[in-house]
Amino acid sequence: MYFLRSFSYLFHPLFMPFAGTAIYYIIFPGYQPQAVEKSVIIPVLILTLIVPIVLYFLLRNMGWVRSHELSGVEERKAPLFVAIPITCIITAYIVPRTFSPELHYFFLGILIALFACLFLVFLKVKASIHMMGIAGLTTFVTELGIHFRLNITLLLVLLILAVGAVASSRLYIRAHNTKEIILGILLGVLPQVLVFPYWF
């Protein structure tokens, strides 16, 4: 069913860091000059979406990855080795803690999840990166609602539905089994929960 398959593309993990950044600025209760927003949103868009797409085609031409699904455990090494330094740059230089604690720790949570995923790859264990992305985003938005005391129930309901839709999609196309789905959710949720106390 194409409808189910489409959720894997719509909620691809590459989109999640940018989505989290965009949602942060949309629901942020205080005032932020447009120039400040652009100084974060544009670099995040370039580093988390455009650069990885270009590098994906390079890695594919070199034969290091076979498809965007990264179905083999070994295929995940090169993309993760690329994603980790990119996320380090964003965390340290684009959204340092003094600039935005919420975004800083969002990306630090992503960084922890990426390291955990890479560690599992060396153990020949596969986790759903799709689930890691959407579950991490949902956790981050939940924490934003708590932190800023916002009523974002509708947004959270939509994100929770998205988590279910992505899980169903990944199972339907046989990209993952239930264990890999659950592991991906845990990799997305736990790092964001661990860094949440440091927001304050």
CB atoms inside a 10 Å sphere around CB 153: 9
What would the pLDDT profile of 79-96 be if each residue is shown by its tens digit?
899 999 999 999 999 999
Query: What pLDDT, on a 0 to 100 scale, did the predictor assign at position 174?
Result: 84
160-174 average pLDDT score: 92
- pLDDT category at 74 given cuts 50, 70, 90 is confident
- pLDDT category at 61 given cuts 50, 70, 90 is confident
What would the pLDDT profile of 10-32 be if each residue is shown by its tens digit?
888 999 999 999 999 999 988 88
Domain chopping of the chain, boundaries? 2-199
147-154 average pLDDT score: 96
- HEC per residue, 125-152: CCCCHHHHHHHHHHHHHHHHHHHHCCCC
